[in-house]
Structure formats: C-alpha cells, structure tokens
Amino acid sequence: MISPDQLAPFLLASILITATPGPDNLMVLGVGASRGRRLALAFALGCASGCLSHTVLAVLGVSAMLAASPVAFTALKVAGGAYLLWLGVGALRSRGGVRVPDGQGAGVPVAGGVLPYFFKGVLANAINPKVVLFFLSFLPQFVVPAQGQVPGQMAVLGVLFTLQAALLFGLLALCSGTVGQWLQRRPGAGLWLDRLTGTIFIGLGVRMVMSR
C-alpha cells in the first residue's frame, strides 16, 4: 500500500519534525529530570501513542470539522491548555523527594507509577489541537490517490509516524535519566527540578491557550 518513494521522504520529514524541540520533547525531558528515566520512558511512549488518536481523527475526517469550526477548535485548545496547567500546578505543589531512576534503590517510594505517567503522556498529546491540525495537513501530503485506498494509506502513515516518535522520544527519555542519577546523590535538588518542570508545563499551557 505504501511505496518506497512515499516511505523515504515521509520518514525523513517525520524524524526531522519529531526531533525539533517542542512541547512533547520538553515535557519528556522535564519528567526525566525530576522523576527518572523509567517514568520518563512511560511518559514518552504515552506521548507517541497519542499520535494514534490524531491518525484516527484524520482518517475519519473529524480533524477537518475541528479546523472548520472555531468554537470546537477553541474548546479543544482550552481543554488542552487547562490540562497542561493542571500538570504544572501539581509539579509546583510537589514536595520533591528522592528520585529513583530505573527502579534502583528498592524500598524508596517514587511519586507516581508507570501507567499513570503513560496515560498522562497520551492525554498531553491527544488533546493538543495543534497536533490535530498537523496530522490533517501532514499525512495527506504523502498520500498517492492513484494507488487507491486513501484512508488506508493515511492510517499506515500515521502508525509509522507513531513508531518513529516512540523511538525518538524513548531515546530522549533514556538520556534524561542520567539527570535522575545525579539527583539520587543530591536529593535536595529534586524540589527545584519539580519547580522547573511545573514552570515548563504552565508555560506550555499558557502558550496553547493564548495561541491563535
């Protein structure tokens, strides 16, 4: 269904877009710095998995409806910004504590589990209206109508984008875990990194709400 002539430029463009510093990258780094690489990896895979929802919306044409309806787009934008603000306030209210990367240090509690952080990543990506519009405008550019099955082509391209995003975000999460090891030796710094993470989330939330 997808020819090599389609696949090569699509993957190249997808990797460049994913690697460009953006909200998802900053959030993965923030979680890795304050919570360790295990939870950062869960959050990163959640962010990547959120792309599947945008793929479904693009295939079904719901994204076109959102783009054409200022009210629907505004509602989704405000909901996404409010969620990021909620994450930021939660981080600012955190009391810090010891962060244990990769499950090292048995018996030391780690704030939050893997699944909650995975679903936080899914929601952070899935409710971002800019990603909805991105998929609506990006995927069709690599579809070849002459090959038929246009919805099927878009679905395959969306899955491929999700897989490469999972790989890149996962690598970013693993690298951010080295900061967690540094925190293991300096427990007092965890509080300040929580503050930094909260500030990042709040800044991204405000930016999303205020964007046109």
pLDDT in tens, 99-145: 433 333 333 334 457 899 999 999 988 888 778 777 877 888 788 87
Pick from 54-58, 135-139, 179-183, 196-200: least confident:
179-183
Picking from 145, 121, 124, 132, the residue whose alpha carbon sits closest to that of residue 56 is 132
Q: What is the mean pLDDT of the chain?
A: 78
pLDDT given for residue 101 in this prediction = 35
Global pTM? 0.70
Instruction: Tell me the DSSP string of the chain.
Output: ---HHHHHHHHHHHHHHHHS--HHHHHHHHHHHHH-HHHHHHHHHHHHHHHHHHHHHHHHTHHHHHHH-HHHHHHHHHHHHHHHHHHHHHHHH-------GGG-STT---SS-HHHHHHHHHHHHHT-HHHHHHHHHHGGGG--GGGS-HHHHHHHHHHHHHHHHHHHHHHHHHHHHHHHHHHHH-TTHHHHHHHHHHHHHHHHHHHHHH--
Q: How many CA atoms lie within 13 A of 139 on its CB side?
A: 32
What's the gap between Cα 99 and its chain centre?
A: 22
- The pLDDT of 59-82, averaged and rounded, is 75
pLDDT given for residue 182 in this prediction = 63
pLDDT given for residue 165 in this prediction = 94
* pLDDT higher than 60, residue 155: yes
* Percentage of the residues of the chain whose pLDDT score is greater than 90: 16
Domain parsing of the chain, residue ranges: 25-69+111-142+149-193
- The pLDDT of 140-152, averaged and rounded, is 80
Reading the block at residue 138, the tokens are 């990006």
